[in-house]
Amino acid sequence: MYNERRDSFSVKDVILQLLLVVLFVFLLIWIFPTKGDLKKSLSGLTGEYDVLTNRIFNDNIQTMKDAAIGYYTTPRLPKKVNDTKSMTLGEMIDKNLIIPFQDANGKACDLEDSYVEITKYKDEYQMTINLDCSDNDAHVVVYLGCYDYCDAAVCENVNKQVSKPVDNNPVKPTPVKPTPNKPKPEEPKKPTKPTPTKVSYEYKYVKTVDGYYSSWSNWSNWSTTKRTETSLRDVDKKVVTTYSTQRKVVGYKDVTTQDKNQPVYAYTKTQIGTTTTKECSSYKTEIVYTGQYKGKWVSQGKSLYFYTPRDTATEKYVYISSTDYSCGNCTGGTAAYYEKIVYKTYELTTEKKVCASYKTVSTPIYGTVKKLVGYKTTTTKEPVYGYVKVPTDTIYYRTRTRHHYDGYRLYKWSDSSHDRSLIRAGYYYTGDKRRK
């Protein structure tokens, strides 16, 4: 075959191959862009990539926010003003609040530096969502409370009005620029540039001191006067048992008497003869046919069939495999192996116990004879007395008291709207400020 191909090779084949090569080159030029086109495409992709990155980052923050709002129900919210609860991204994943997500670079965000923090104010809560990823890091602050439009216990403040916001970036006042005095016509002077007046503010902070109880006083003396426990009174009690001796019925005894005038007779058995009977001494088991029949399918093994067997009411065939056969000069064919299963019936049997051997048993014959067996008796119960100790319980009470002091508020002014030292000391910014 190789020699035939070589003999038929001609100039026509060479020209055809050259045309195919030229066509392939034009296709490459048309498919692959030039360097300038690549730069334009890359610049467009960079912008689209930035948009995609920001969208993924915002979606991840929104996911954390929605999961946190759903998690912080009333039992999990901070209880006291300025109390804070937080949860890292890793803890949110462990609690199955969210599934692990990735940033636009396909990397997992920081599980420790990414967190959700919620702080209780007087009338609402401030939630901070911080997300730290390889492509971006930022935090979002939202406010939660129990508003008229909430479907749950708390929801996000859609009006964006808060009762006690933390002002991290106070707005500086715009300096008043005075109008320069006009020079007199007779004495023209160069106007001077006025210096803007710098306004300084102080910011008001408040700290709530909860009410508290004083220490308990010493215990009072024991008394039988009943006392009840309150928040300002603690009650201790004890039971003292005293005993006194008293004559009481401690039980009863039965007293039986006989009346000789009322004899009691009974008929007793007396042997008057003997009878013999034949009884079974041992048993054996016999099989008894019930006349009921039951059937089951029984396999007859595998056989080779040169035709397709047909199932009947008492026979069925299960196909196993096929094989080719040849009969010498005659035409060969395909035969198949089938498992033949036959439905066989059998009569149901049961077991029955029958006597295997007998024995002779002698039985005495009794008659009845009237005999005196006693006299009519009468039984009465008589009380039994004794001296017993009867307990008497007496409850004694003693008390101790304490006082309750109401809570109050402490106010302080600071030069900063985010004074960390005051915040660490338990203060929070009220939102009020004044000029120094």
Kindly tell me if the per-residue pLDDT of 332 is higher than 50: yes
- pLDDT for the residue 427: 92
Pick the last residue of a domain from 129, 156, 183.
156
- pLDDT for the residue 372: 84
Question: And the tokens for 86?
Answer: 């937080």
pLDDT tens digit sequence for 354-386: 888 888 888 888 888 888 888 888 989 889 988
Length of the chain: 436
DSSP characters over 85-144:
EEEEHHHHHHTTSS---B-TTS-BPPTTT-EEEEEE-SSSEEEEEEEE-SS-EEEEEEEE
Bridge partners, residue 242, by sequence: 392
Kindly tell me if the per-residue pLDDT of 164 is higher than 80: no
DSSP characters over 206-263:
EEEEPPEE---------BSS-----SSEEEEEEEEEEEEEEEEEEEEEEEEEEEEEEE
Pick the last residue of a domain from 104, 127, 156.
156
Instruction: Tell me if 3 is assigned to some domain.
Output: no
Largest Cα separation within the chain, whole Å, is 175
- pLDDT-derived band at 64, boundaries 50, 70, 90: very high
The Cα 89–Cα 114 span in angstroms is 5
Pick the last residue of a domain from 355, 372, 387.
387
Strands, E, within 150-218: which ranges?
155-156, 201-209, 212-213
Instruction: Tell me if 346 is assigned to some domain.
Output: yes
Give the total number of structural domains in the chain.
Answer: 2
Instruction: Tell me if 282 is assigned to some domain.
Output: yes
The Cα 208–Cα 404 span in angstroms is 16
Domain extent for 272: 251-387
pLDDT tens digit sequence for 385-402: 888 888 999 999 999 999
Top pLDDT among 423 and 198 is at: 423
Name which of 32-41, 128-137, 195-204, 370-379 the model is least confident about. 32-41
Nearest to residue 275, comparing CAs of 397, 362, 208?
362
- Same-domain status, 258 and 362: yes
